[in-house]
Amino acid sequence: MHDFHYRDNQLYCEDVPIKEIAQNVGTPCYIYSHRTLIQHFRAFDQAFDAIPHTIAYAMKANSNIAILRLMAQEGSGADIVSGGELFRAIKAGVPSSKIVFAGVGKSGSEVEQALKADILMFNVESAGELKLINQVAGQMGIPARVALRINPDIDPKTHPYISTGLKKSKFGIAADRALAEFKTATALPHIQVVGVHCHIGSQLTELTPFTDALKKILPLIETLKVQGINIRYLNIGGGLGITYSDEIPPHPKDLAAAVAPLLQDLKCQLILEPGRSIVGNAGIMVTRVLYNKETEAKQFVVVDAAMNDLLRPSLYDAYHEIQHVRKPSGTDEQTVDIVGPICESGDFLAKDRRIPTTNSGDLLAVMSAGAYGFTMASNYNSRPRVPEVLIKGHEVHVIRKREDYEDLTRGETIPSFLETTA
């Protein structure tokens, strides 16, 4: 479900023609639908109505502070993975009592920052990290609430780069070592063990990996109870997939229905960390065709957006639907590679894609770009990062302006020994 649709052959976001937005802010740009964001969040939240739960939106999917504010107003917390994300979350007004902190490489200063902010808990990924958190908490005189992240060794059947719950992955603590780590943790003076965490991967299109993971974790919670370690929070992570092409991922309701029976006797607060399923289809990236270029081997459509603006096709070989902003009247089609201006062969948005014929100047919408789109953008090739626009009904709000050339060199200095120019 999303609010990008055609009216009289023109693509709209809610009540605003994409063409108008592109004229006003230029291309490339990201465009998000307020209504879609709200709907997706509420669909998730309401699906779990019957279970006491907290949604900690995984902000690495899209961390613009306007999006975070919107989520916070809907009652969301945040799943963070860095001090920078903590800064954004707090700046946006996400209550620290709903912030959870994951990641295998938390630094001492990030731990300090999070303790100072009084976040809900750390999702701890190793014995070394546990030791560090205990030490920092001791120095600060602030006890640290933690969950241990369990790696259940489950194949989520997704792209290897976004699969996180297999034995060979760097994430979490192996299930068979978990009990020992929990015991270690409870013995540490500045640590309060409050939860179990698990996140097995992203873009999951089946429910069984979720339930299989739970079936590994629930006996552990039972064992812990017997040992006198009371688990108050069960965090089952994020990972629910979305439709990029023809996937039919489970609805949050299906996820809730699948996990609810398993949780019946458990007196835990459930924490969920959806990212992609909230924002993915709530955003698009709009780009303009520069050239049609034909070589002996291929036909290329060169556009003004590149891998630095949207990395997913290059990084994961990800598929994004590409649509004409103005539906062409003719029926001519072409099979093309849609590529950007960056000096890398890996710079493409689509390969061997059958689309209606394009002309220079045409606007194209790269669909399902709301998650892991702008947040993965870089300045590679000294390309300023593109603007982000939030549409609400007829309203157009620029929630991040386009960077300019001065932004590109901010923080850089020429040392004094190089002061004279040639």
Ligand X SMILES: *Cc1c(COP(=O)(O)O)cnc(C)c1O
**Chain residues that interact with ligand X, rule: CB under 6 A:** 58, 60-61, 79, 102, 199, 202, 237-240, 273-277, 371
Which residue, 144 or 150, is less far from ligand X as judged by CB? 150
Helix boundaries (H) for 158-298 = 175-187, 208-226, 252-263, 276-279
φ, ψ at 107 (rounded to 5°): -90, 165
Q: How far is the CB of 248 from ligand X (least distance, A)?
A: 17
d(CA 200, CA 171): 9
Q: How far is the CB of 95 from ligand X (least distance, A)?
A: 18
φ, ψ at 120 (rounded to 5°): -60, -50
Beta strands in 198-347 (DSSP E): 233-235, 269-272, 283-294, 299-303, 322-324, 333-339
Q: How far is the CB of 159 from ligand X (least distance, A)?
A: 11
Q: Are 305 and 287 in contact (CB under 8 A)?
A: yes
Which residue, 81 or 322, is less far from ligand X as judged by CB? 81
Annotated catalytic residue 343 = yes
Which residue, 28 or 238, is less far from ligand X as judged by CB? 238
Q: How far is the CB of 182 from ligand X (least distance, A)?
A: 19
Sign of CA dihedral 96, 117, 238, 320: positive
Q: Are 150 and 125 in contact (CB under 8 A)?
A: no
Q: How far is the CB of 417 from ligand X (least distance, A)?
A: 44
Q: How far is the CB of 122 from ligand X (least distance, A)?
A: 12
**Measuring CA to CA, how many Å separate 235 from each of 115, 223, 303?**
20, 17, 42
Half-sphere exposure of 365 (CA within 13 A, CB side): 26
Which residue, 16 or 200, is less far from ligand X as judged by CB? 200
The DSSP bridge pattern shows strands 121-124 and 283-294 to be: unpaired
> Which among 407, 377, 372, 393 has a CA at the least distance from the CA of 58?
372
Which residue, 338 or 377, is less far from ligand X as judged by CB? 377
- Please state the separation of Cα 281 from the chain's center in Å: 12
Which residue, 312 or 383, is less far from ligand X as judged by CB? 312
- As annotated, the active-site residues are 343
